[in-house]
């Protein structure tokens, strides 16, 4: 019995060790697998569809769906309410890859060799290996800004990465999408969210302008929601707080992709810092047809305007 447990433990340690050691090769293997199925499609955007954005997947035309379970080195999300499908096709005439469901740092953050962060950002590295120039990120977030209401949208202006950095450790051999050069040891991420794409997203949300904001996103590890004093201290520097996005965007920017991002506000964090949010409540907001329609129509309009620009 004890022997088996030790063996199992060593096996998984070896798995996380080799994932780190062979990371570039694993990213390349996954990209090759997806590339072989894309046919003549040359995606211009990768989009991570956070919770509540699943309807976007239905708006992708001529769509091919691949379950994460059928993609080498991809993991099926462990959290209920997060799907695991890659969908490629055309969104309002723009060739895209949609990632419905993401890995969060809190799922694997207990493991060594920066495994949690490497896992969290794996799909973005695959998008970059596929030569995709733009990364559109969406997420669910708690509203720190007192003007924000449940169901509102926030265009990400900048972020604070309050998790381990995905680029810690060995300087990897990855190439940039924009100029083919090796990713720098100390890559700048500013401007973090592309000013032009941000403008397009802001214009796309005008139909819902009473529910549209711009602000700073704080990315924390979770899985706990914030204590009162944490929320108050975050509010000094950020407008919304969530458990994803920032690591993905660091990788996207490091690899020379342009980033654009949008949060859906699922709960209001009060002036005192009370954050009685729970996962069921967050899920309920994201299942609301009104909120889903607002998010979906804004993303669709973004691609219409992008195409026209």
Question: Is 213 among the catalytic positions?
Answer: no
Q: Of these residues, 85, 244, 263, 275, which one is catalytic?
A: 244
Contacting positions for ligand HPA (CB under 6 A): 140-142, 222, 225-226, 241-243, 266-267, 269, 275, 277, 282
Dihedral sign computed on CA atoms, order 275, 278, 281, 283:
positive
Among this protein's residues, is 107 annotated catalytic?
yes
Q: How far is the CB of 225 from ligand HPA (least distance, A)?
A: 5
Annotated catalytic residue, options 29, 279, 288, 297: 279
Among 104, 130, 107, 112, smallest CA distance to 21 is for 112
- Catalytic annotation on 83? no
Is 159 in the active site? Answer: no
Q: Is position 243 annotated as part of the catalytic site?
A: yes
* Gap between the Cα atoms of 134 and 260, Å rounded: 8
Q: How far apart are CA 277 and CA 127, in angstroms?
A: 33
At its nearest, how many Å lie between ligand HPA and the CB of residue 234?
Answer: 9
Residue 80 CB, shortest distance to ligand HPA, in Å, is 15
CB of 285 to ligand HPA, least distance (A): 9
Q: Which is nearer to ligand HPA, 152 or 301 (CB)?
A: 152
- Check 68, 82, 92, 115 and give the catalytic one: 82
Is 104 among the catalytic positions?
yes
- The closest alpha carbon to 37, from 110, 108, 109, 89, belongs to 89
The catalytic site residues sit at: 51, 82, 104, 106-107, 140, 243-244, 267, 279
């Amino acid at each position: 019995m004890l022997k088996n447990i030790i063996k199992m433990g060593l096996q998984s340690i070896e798995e996380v060790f080799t994932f780190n050691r062979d990371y570039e090769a694993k990213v390349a293997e996954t990209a090759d697998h997806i590339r072989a199925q894309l046919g003549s499609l040359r995606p211009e955007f990768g989009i991570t569809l956070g919770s509540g954005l699943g309807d976007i997947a239905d708006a992708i035309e001529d769509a091919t769906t691949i379950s994460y379970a059928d993609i080498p080195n991809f993991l099926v999300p462990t959290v209920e309410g997060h799907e695991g499908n890659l969908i490629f096709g055309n969104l309002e005439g723009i060739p895209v890859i949609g990632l419905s469901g993401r890995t969060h740092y809190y799922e694997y953050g207990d493991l060594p060799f920066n495994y949690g962060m490497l896992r969290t950002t794996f799909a973005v590295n695959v998008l970059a290996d596929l030569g995709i120039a733009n990364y559109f990120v969406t997420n669910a977030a708690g509203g720190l800004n007192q003007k924000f209401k449940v169901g509102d949208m926030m265009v990400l202006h900048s972020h604070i990465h309050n998790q381990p950095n995905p680029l810690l450790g060995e300087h990897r051999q990855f190439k940039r999408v924009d100029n083919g050069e090796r990713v720098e040891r100390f890559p700048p991420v500013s401007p973090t969210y592309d000013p032009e794409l941000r403008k397009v997203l802001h214009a796309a949300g005008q139909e819902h302008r009473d529910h549209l904001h711009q602000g700073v996103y704080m990315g924390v590890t979770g899985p706990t929601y914030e204590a009162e004093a944490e929320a108050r201290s975050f509010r000094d520097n950020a407008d919304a707080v969530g458990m994803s996005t920032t690591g993905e965007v660091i990788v996207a920017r490091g690899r020379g992709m342009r980033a654009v991002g949008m949060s859906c506000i699922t709960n209001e964090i009060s002036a005192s810092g009370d954050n009685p949010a729970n996962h069921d409540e967050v899920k309920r907001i994201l299942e609301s047809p009104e909120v889903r329609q607002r998010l979906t129509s804004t993303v669709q309009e973004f691609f219409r305007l992008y195409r026209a620009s």
